[in-house]
Amino acid sequence: MKKIKPWLSAMRLRTLPLSVSGIILGTCFAYYNGKFNPYVFGLAILTTISLQILSNLANDYGDGVKGTDNDERVGPKRAIQSGEISPEAMLDAIKKNILIVIVLTLGLIWAAFGAGNFPYLLLFVFLGGLSVYAAMNYTMGDSPYGYRALGDIFVFIFFGLVSTLGSYLLYTKTIDHVAVLPAIALGLLSVGVLNLNNMRDIQSDANVGKITLAVKLGLVRAKIYHYFLIIGAMVITVLFSILYYVEPYNFLYLIAFLPLTLHIKKIKAAKEANDFDSQLKVLALSTFLFSILLGIGYILC
C-alpha cells in the first residue's frame, strides 16, 4: 500500500471528474438526438481518464525536474517534489501511460466508426495524437506552453470543445450546433479551474519563471478574468437553454449555479494562497455537477 499511495497521489484522482465532464455532456446531447453506443461511452471515459492521468504525471515530472514544485508552493506535495517517486520512475510510468492511451484511443475509434468513415478515422487519430502532445507539453520539454501563458487556451480547446463536440461526433458522425454553446460554457468553467490553480501559485510561479496568464495579469486582474470565466459560462448556458428550450427540465443546471455563485463570492474575498486552494475542489465538482445536470435536463425531455 505504501508503494501505491504515492502513485495514486501523483495521478491526482480528484481531477478526473472534471476531465470526463465534456464526455458526459456530449453523450447526453447525442442521446437526446437518438444516438448512443455504450461501448463508445465506456471507451471514451477510459480514454479521457488515461489522458488526464498522463497529463498529471507529466506535470509532476515537468514541474519537478524544473524545480517549480518547491516549498513555496501551496497545496498537496507532488510526488517528485516529495522524493517519493524518482524522475526516472515517473518518466517510465509516462511512457507506459502513453501506450495505454494509444490502445484505448484506437479501440474507441474502432467502436465508433469500424472500418468505414475513413476521414473520421484520420480526424480522431490526429486528435488523439494532439491530445497526447497537449497532455505532455504543458510543463515538459524545453519550451512547455504552460510556462508561456498558453495553458488557458489549451484547456478551453481540449476540456471544452474537443471533449464535448468530439464525443458528440463519435456517436452522431456529425457536428450539430446544439452542442456548441454547452461546449463553450464547459470550456470557460474548465479554464476557471486552471486560473484558480494559477492564482494560488502566482507568487511561487513568478519566482521560478513560470509565466502563467495569472502571473502576467497580476492577482487583481486575474480575479476579474476569473469572474468573466465563471459568469460568462453561466450567461452562455442560460442563453443556450432559452434558444433550445423544450421543457422546464432544461433549466435543471441552475442548481449548479448556487455553488458557482458562492464560489465567486469566496474568490472576491480571497487574499492568501490557501484561500484559492480551498476553492479548487469546489469549482471542479461544481463544473462536474453542471455538466451532468445540463445533460440530464435534455435526456429527460
Which stretches within the chain are classed as H helix? 4-11, 16-19, 21-32, 38-66, 79-82, 87-113, 118-136, 151-155, 163-172, 180-200, 202-208, 213-217, 219-243, 254-269, 273-299
Determine the average pLDDT of the residues in 28-34.
96
What's the mean pLDDT when you consider all of the chain? 93
pLDDT tens string 34-91: 999 999 999 999 999 999 999 999 998 988 887 766 656 566 667 788 788 899 999 9
The percent of residues above 70 in pLDDT, for the chain, comes to: 96
Tell me the residue type at 59: N
Q: In 249-280, which positions are buried (b, 16+ CB within 10 angstroms) versus exposed (e)?
A: ebbbbbebbebbeebbebbeebeebeebbebb
> Which conformational region is residue 116 in: left (phi greater than 0), alpha (psi within -120 to 50 degrees), or beta?
beta
pLDDT tens string 254-295: 999 999 999 999 999 999 999 999 999 999 999 999 999 999
pLDDT tens string 209-242: 999 999 999 999 999 999 999 999 999 999 999 9
Which pLDDT score is estimated for 80?
Answer: 85
268 contacts 220 by C-beta, under 8 angstroms: no
Rg over CA atoms, the chain:
19
The rounded distance, in Å, linking the Cα atoms of 297 and 150 is 33
Structure-block grid coordinates of residue 161: 470543445
Closest to 136 measured CA to CA, from 146, 121, 149, 124: 146
Above 60 in pLDDT, residue 1?
Answer: no
The rounded distance, in Å, linking the Cα atoms of 180 and 32 is 15
Which pLDDT score is estimated for 142?
Answer: 83
Determine the average pLDDT of the residues in 164-190.
95
Which pLDDT score is estimated for 175?
Answer: 83
Q: Could you tell me the pTM of the whole model?
A: 0.94
Pick the residue with more confidence: 187 or 11?
A: 187
Residue 222: phi, psi to the nearest 5? Answer: -65, -35
